[in-house]
Amino acid sequence: MSLDTLKAALAAVPDPMIFIDGAGLIAEANPAAEALFGTWIMRRSYVAALRQPALIDRIEAVSRGVEGGDVRFTKPDPAGETVFRVRVTPMTFEDKSTGVLLHFSDVSHLQDAEEMRRDFVANVSHELRSPLTALMGFIETLRGPAREDAEVRDHFLSIMEEQSSRMNRLVGDLLSLSRVESEERLRPSEDVDLNALVNGVVVTLRPQAEDQGSALTIAAEPGDYTIRGDRDQLTQVFMNLAENALKYGGAGRPVTLALHAGEGRGALKGPVVTVDVIDRGNGIEALHLPRLTERFYRVDSHRSREMGGTGLGLAIVKHIVNRHRGRLKISSEKGRGSTFSVTLPRS
Ligand SMILES: Nc1ncnc2c1ncn2[C@@H]1O[C@H](COP(=O)(O)OP(=O)(O)O)[C@@H](O)[C@H]1O
Ligand SMILES: [Mg+2]
């Protein structure tokens, strides 16, 4: 190969690529590299043009014939920084001249995914640890001081039961989240009558609503509410939303599930069905709204835990709605209540 053929080849590569000649000057930078570094780098020394020690050391080593390989390179930009993995490869041309080829691949997205994974593991461990610590403490006490006292024993056992159900709910929600995530790209294929489904949810939750003195009702205009969906997952969506409305809406406050069919706009163009889950609780401050569907995000984590929440409900809802190519919209007014609105395309 000659330098000219190399130039032509590099021009066709979408990633930034740079060729450094035997004299240590930048002999070629493809359009993506020029966009990244600027056109001024042509014919400059690579030390001046690239500046980062790790990369410069590696290029130097490769040109001495020591070793090729990858090195990280970060480029600050207005939105933070872009992280590249740079492959540094030695080259020899037909005329025996040599040089070093750099290939930059953008790995920022991998970086983000890795960070999310680490956060998630830390969160799960944290959530499991407190009930586990409580359980261990009570086992200890039951073995020792409380051994002979039947009343204390019963009291501790009931707390232990509560803590283990909390762990059980958490594990259940984690499994459900991972199942929903793995199916997210699979299109649902059942015909589901949303009106009947939402009725089922209301019947299931009615005893809980009555216990807390909240009226739980459905409002549906007459019409056809059949959509293409996954029955179990959609049941999970409306169970989660209605349970939240009851829990966070508060005792004695009504909860309504309102259905209407209509025409969608924008990305949801075509016939759609919308279900609004409306509560008359204290509402949610605007700053929390965009984050509610993040895993483990809670407005008041103490209150959520006290009510048996895992902080995963809305994350699961969001994934299921995405799988159905629908949209979840949350609106809330402090002191007046919240509406969680799910819009689903009919086919
Ligand atoms: N209807 C609602 N009214 C007020 N806050 C709500 C409502 N629904 C959800 N939230 C807030 O969103 C958080 C996340 O909800 P979710 O993911 O279902 O978790 P969980 O209910 O397990 O805490 C809750 O902890 C609560 O702070
Ligand atoms: Mg919930």
Domains in the chain: boundaries:
3-106, 107-182, 187-347
Ligand 1 pocket test: pick from 244, 247, 341 the residue with the most ligand atoms within 8 Å of its Cβ. 244
Q: What pLDDT sits at residue 95?
A: 87
| CA distances, 290 to each of 28, 244, 248, 282 (Å) | 45, 17, 18, 18
Backbone angles phi, psi at 314, to 5 degrees: -70, -30
d(CA 27, CA 337): 65
Q: Which residues contact 303 (CB under 8 A, 6 or more apart)?
A: none
Query: Hey, what CATH topology would domain 107-182 get?
Result: Helix Hairpins (1.10.287)
**Which protein residue has the closest C-alpha to ligand 1 atom 6?**
248
**14-41 tens-digit pLDDT:** 999 999 999 999 999 999 999 999 999 9
Q: What pLDDT sits at residue 301?
A: 83
Q: What pLDDT sits at residue 32?
A: 94
Rg (Cα) of the chain, in Å, rounded?
Answer: 29
Q: Is 229 in the pocket of ligand 1 (CB under 6 A)?
A: no
In the three-class reduction of DSSP (H, G, I as helix; E, B as strand; rest coil), residue 269 is classed as coil
Nearest to 326 by CA among 278, 264, 276, 279: 264
Q: At residue 207, what is the residue type?
A: P
Tokens of 243: 């349970």
Please state the CATH superfamily assignment of the domain spanning residues 3-106 in this structure.
PAS domain (3.30.450.20)
Do residues 62 and 41 touch, judged by C-beta distance below 8 A? no
Ligand 2 centroid, distance to 244 Cα (angstroms): 5
Do residues 169 and 310 touch, judged by C-beta distance below 8 A? yes
Ligand 1 centroid, distance to 247 Cα (angstroms): 8
Q: Is 59 in the pocket of ligand 1 (CB under 6 A)?
A: no
Tokens of 43: 């014919």
Return the CATH number of 187-347, one of 3.30.365.10, 1.25.10.10, 3.40.50.11740, 3.30.565.10. Answer: 3.30.565.10
Q: At residue 46, what is the residue type?
A: Y
**Which protein residue has the closest C-alpha to ligand 1 atom 24?**
298
The reply to whether 3-106 and 107-182 are identical in fold is no
pLDDT tens string, the chain, 347 residues long: the values are 788 888 899 999 999 999 999 999 999 999 999 999 999 999 999 999 998 999 999 999 998 888 778 899 998 877 678 889 999 999 988 888 899 999 999 998 888 888 888 889 999 998 999 899 999 999 999 998 788 888 989 999 999 999 999 999 999 999 999 999 999 889 999 999 999 999 999 999 999 999 999 999 999 988 899 999 999 999 999 999 999 999 999 999 999 999 999 998 888 899 999 999 999 999 999 999 989 999 999 998 888 888 888 999 999 999 999 999 999 999 999 999 999 999 999 98
Do residues 198 and 316 touch, judged by C-beta distance below 8 A? no
**167-195 tens-digit pLDDT:** 999 999 999 999 999 998 899 999 999 99
Q: What pLDDT sits at residue 189?
A: 92
Q: What long-range pairs does 341-344 form, CB within 8 A, spacing at least 24? A: 341/274, 341/275, 341/276, 341/277, 342/237, 342/238, 342/241, 342/274, 342/275, 342/277, 342/317, 343/264, 343/268, 343/272, 343/273, 343/274, 344/194, 344/227, 344/229, 344/272, 344/273, 344/274, 344/275
**Which protein residue has the closest C-alpha to ligand 1 atom 13?**
298
Q: What pLDDT sits at residue 108?
A: 86
